[in-house]
Amino acid sequence: MISREAQLRFFFYINSFLLMMFYLFVSPTSATAPQAVKHAGPAVPTVSQAKEELKSMPNASTTAVHTQRQSVQTSRDELRTVARNGQVKVSEREIELLARLVYAEGRGEPYEGQVAIAAVVLNRVASPGFPSTVREVIFAPNAFSPVRNGQLPTKTNETARKAVLEALQGNDPTHGSLYFFNPKTATSKWIWTRKQTVSIANHTFAK
């Protein structure tokens, strides 16, 4: 005869087995991984996208050098000094350019003649009938033969530089002239119609 204690143990095991089977049938047999919560914001680039972006970005040192050179270029070309009692404004590069023109047009002329050539250019800058900068006056079409013939030198000398500075200070041996020519070689009939002001060595100056 089975004892009461054995009956209780059998009953407990049977109930436990049935309860376990119940949970196996009721609970889902497959599980899914939790989905990541999407937050608003910029997308993170892939490795290949990041490499492409790095290739397209300029080198930091190159950019810095370019910026520095650009600032130097700007300072020399755009920072203008007021000269001739406020009549003209001229940059450092334009002073060098004007000295080159004086050297090309007047290196065989006396010092006064070189000052006169620089003064003609500055007179044109101050005149409403001509461009308003030294560079534009010098490179105007057919304005000066060395530029027209492609013979404007890249060098100058101390005499030409000194003549330019003296003209910038207000010295004008031409008395306001806007033109000059060599009467021995001039072929333009029009230039002879201008009012002549003074002759200095090989050049005649006119308004």
Strand segments, DSSP code E, in 28-177 are 81-83, 88-90
pLDDT at 107 over 70: yes
> What's the confidence (pLDDT) of residue 167?
97
Residues 13-18 have a mean pLDDT of 70
pLDDT at 87: 86
What is the pLDDT, as a whole number, of residue 127?
96
pLDDT digits over 161-202, tens only? Answer: 999 999 999 999 999 999 999 999 999 999 999 999 999 999
Mean pLDDT, rounded, for 27-54: 49
Q: How confident is the model at residue 31 (pLDDT cuts 50, 70, 90)?
A: very low
pLDDT at 145 over 50: yes
- Whether the pLDDT of residue 9 is over 80: the answer is no
Answer yes or no: pTM beyond 0.75. Answer: no
Percentage above 70 pLDDT, the chain: 64
DSSP per-residue codes, 134-199: HHHHHTSTTS-HHHHTT---S---HHHHHHHHHHHTT--TTSS--EEE-TTT---TGGGGSPEEEE
Q: Give the domains, in start order, of the chain with CATH numbers.
A: 74-173 (1.10.10.2520)
Supply φ then ψ for residue 185, to 5 degrees: -120, -5
- Judged by DSSP in three states, 200 sits in strand
